[in-house]
Amino acid sequence: MMKSSLIAVGLATACLLSSYANAQPSDPKSWCQSKYGPHDEIGAANLLGPELTMNAAKLIKTGKTYSLGVETNSKTPAFGPRSWALAINQPGQVGGVGLGHTKTNYNDDIYMGYVGTGTQIDGLGHIGVDNVYYNCNKNSEFVQANGLTKLGIEKIPNIVTRGIVLDMAAHYGKDVVPEGTAFNRKEIDEVAAKQGIEIRKGDVVLFHTGWLSLVGKDDKRYISGEPGLGKEGAEYLASKDVIAVGADTWGVEAIPFEPGVGIFEVHQILIPKNGIFILENINTAELARDRAYEFMFVLGHSKMTGGVQSIINPTAIR
């Protein structure tokens, strides 16, 4: 019943939220305390530093850069109720009047929509377990209508570290990996070994599935499910102390969910339980084409005070 409802386009948000509240036990003491201290708000980003940056810089051999963000507009398929619109205006220039004796013209844009559309980073205030979030922060204590008072997206430092991409499409011999395909420890290790790379502490791990190629061709299928990280795979990557996990999909984890796995439980494992960031709708196609399996990863995001997510355009350099 739950699987079939998730495959339908336009998931019923109210149903998700009501089911979500019952997915996990309410006692947070066994899982929510951060290993970085009771006041920590940046999770795995604590691992960042000069050493990771310098080691990542050593990976640059050609200087080629890859834009990992996707073009976003009102037609971009997005989860649940998320919508997007852009308005352009010319303040004080009604009727084409220029400003001053030099007739200066300018355009401004007004963005109206969900930040979680297109290429994005999920911050630590995005996902909780029974109203408890990363580092035991309770919903009632920090979630305000005009912004989070803790765990805001502005707290995350720029992420500069080693990035790797695991080409799952090549592993399965398909241009597009089918929805519901889960990547767990076995699959992750097999692909890493095949590519001759290892997952290290402080890495950003990306998955290439070919799923993003459906956008504009079969948006209904794109947003109805996806291949992605399985529950065991999420726990495995968390044990590796990675900083972020991303994919060329809208939700990173396998949907329909694996048997017995809760609604967005992979999100719960990564974000509130381990402080690991999630990167969605990452354009991995060119990296996979070039077999650029490891690279310097650079991400600077917009620091909207109290924000939950941020629109991003990360860069890979090899």
Give the list of residues 6+ apart from residue 299 with CB closer than 8 angstroms, or none.
121, 158, 159, 160, 204, 279, 312, 314, 315
Q: What is the mean pLDDT of residues 26-49?
A: 88
Where residue 4 falls among pLDDT bands split at 50, 70, 90?
very low
Residue 14 is predicted with a pLDDT of 37
Where residue 24 falls among pLDDT bands split at 50, 70, 90?
very low
Residue 8 is predicted with a pLDDT of 40
pLDDT in tens, 167-203: 999 999 999 999 999 999 999 999 999 999 999 999 9
Q: What domains can be seen in the chain, in order of their start residue? A: 2-80+117-317 (3.50.30.50), 83-113 (no CATH)
Instruction: Please check whether residue 118 is in contact with residue 69, taking contact to mean a CB–CB distance below 8 angstroms.
Output: yes
Question: What distance in Å separates the CA atoms of residue 107 and residue 91, rounded to the nearest whole number?
Answer: 7
Residue 96 is predicted with a pLDDT of 87
Instruction: Please check whether residue 275 is in contact with residue 124, taking contact to mean a CB–CB distance below 8 angstroms.
Output: yes
Question: What distance in Å separates the CA atoms of residue 86 and residue 76, rounded to the nearest whole number?
Answer: 13
pLDDT in tens, 213-263: 999 999 999 999 999 999 999 999 999 999 999 999 999 999 999 999 999
How would you class 241 by CB atoms within 10 Å of its CB: exposed for 0-12, middle for 13-18, buried for 19 or more?
A: middle
Looking at per-residue pLDDT, the higher value among 135 and 16 belongs to: 135
Residue 95 is predicted with a pLDDT of 87
pTM value surpassing 0.85? yes
- Helix, strand or coil, per DSSP, at residue 154: helix
Residue 94 is predicted with a pLDDT of 87
**Closest C-alpha among 240, 276, 272 to residue 132:** 272
Residue 27 is predicted with a pLDDT of 54
Is residue 49 predicted with pLDDT exceeding 60?
Answer: yes
CA-to-CA dists, residue 150 to 39, 63, 120, 218, 250, angstroms: 10, 38, 19, 38, 25
Looking at per-residue pLDDT, the higher value among 5 and 84 belongs to: 84
Residue 52 is predicted with a pLDDT of 98
pLDDT in tens, 263-306: 999 999 999 999 999 999 999 999 999 999 999 999 999 999 99
